[in-house]
Amino acid sequence: MIKIFFAKELGFCWGVERAINLAAQAKNEFAGQVTILKEIVHNRQVVDFFKKKGVGQEDTLDKIESGTLVISAHGLSPKLKEEAQQKGLRIVDTTCPLVENVHSFTRELLRDGYQVILYGEPGHDEVHGVMGIDEANIHLLAEYEDIEHLPRFEHGKVALITQTTRGVKAFQQVCDKMKEIYPEIKIVNTICDATDTRQAAIHELAPTVDLVLVIGSQSSGNSQRLRDIAESICGKAYLVDHPTQIDWSWFDGVDKVGITAGASTPNFAVEGMLKALQAGVGIDVANSDAKLFEYKSFAPYKKNVQQTA
């Protein structure tokens, strides 16, 4: 039997919960086709849930011609929003207010004449949305190692901003290096609180266990980050969406397992994983307080599932 230790902060954040509730509400309230552009949140099981309820999902706006368009929690570029309005679509915007903040700060910086460097993941929906504000004056920085490939800006107005779900420590390293190059650089830390607290919790948990299971989808940036942090500390960390992805040999010689979940991971995914672990290796939950706290915070989503069934 293995001992399970939960991270103090894990699973759904309020921004994700809000987006799911708004999308479910749109399906309940509006007649006609309701379509989500991209994934409502980066979690396979949540995406499948909406598909089963008859909510459409498209990767590009040109495939949505009528009905209601749901903008995901990660936001959309101003140009695409305008296109959607011109098509006459009813728009339900579930963009997380903290992603909206990144858009507002970026607009302000551009208005004040700054060249903006965005520390973000290439291809991520949030990054697409922010870059779309002004592709010519926003420069994407994917990794610390890429700093040397950024264009050199001769005038002093350079600003650094970040995707909400990037690594806190990694962003600090980027800030330090950028300050060496541009001592006057303006830095706006837009990493959200949910990301910050989940990363702090895994920093605390990982040194105390033999292995960390991060429950979340591969497409979830914040889940990937939790896995990377855990792996760098305890040496063994896996990101799994579903029990079928577990390789039981991971648990050979393991006594203590840490559990965390990305900000877009619903509680039924956590519960499913616990049941599988119980059946597969046998578990004893060591810190049930953390578990109870999370179960309470997941409750509104459960209610929502029942409403839309």
Which residues are near ligand SF4 by CB under 6 A?
13, 15-16, 73, 96, 98-99, 164-165, 192, 194-195, 222, 263
To the nearest 10°, report the CA torsion of 167, 171, 173, 178: 160
CA distances from 138 to 83, 95, 127, 217, 268 (A): 21, 20, 11, 29, 39
Among all chains, which residue has been given the structure tokens 């990660």? 74
Pairing status of strand 283-285 against strand 2-6: parallel
DSSP 265-283: --HHHHHHHHHHHHHHT-E
Smallest distance, ligand SF4 to C-beta of residue 190, A: 9
Residue 186 gets which letter from DSSP?
E
Considering only CA atoms, which of 23, 41, 10, 16 is closest in space to residue 219? Answer: 41
Residue 293 gets which letter from DSSP?
H
Residue 137 gets which letter from DSSP?
T
Please tell me the total number of residues recorded for the chain in this structure: 309
H helices within 114-211, ranges in order?
125-131, 168-181, 193-205
How far is it, in rounded angstroms, from Cα 189 to Cα 95?
19
Q: Which two tokens stand for residue 143?
A: 């990794």
CB 281 within 8 A of CB 251: yes
Q: Which residue is nearest to ligand SF4 (CB)?
A: 15
CB 232 within 8 A of CB 282: no
Based on its alpha-carbon atoms, the radius of gyration of the chain, rounded to whole angstroms, reads 21
| Catalytic status, residue 184 | no
- Which candidate in 9, 17, 39, 126 is catalytic? 126
Q: Which two tokens stand for residue 65?
A: 């011609």
Residue 154 gets which letter from DSSP?
-
Smallest distance, ligand SF4 to C-beta of residue 85, A: 23
Q: Which residues are catalytic?
A: 126
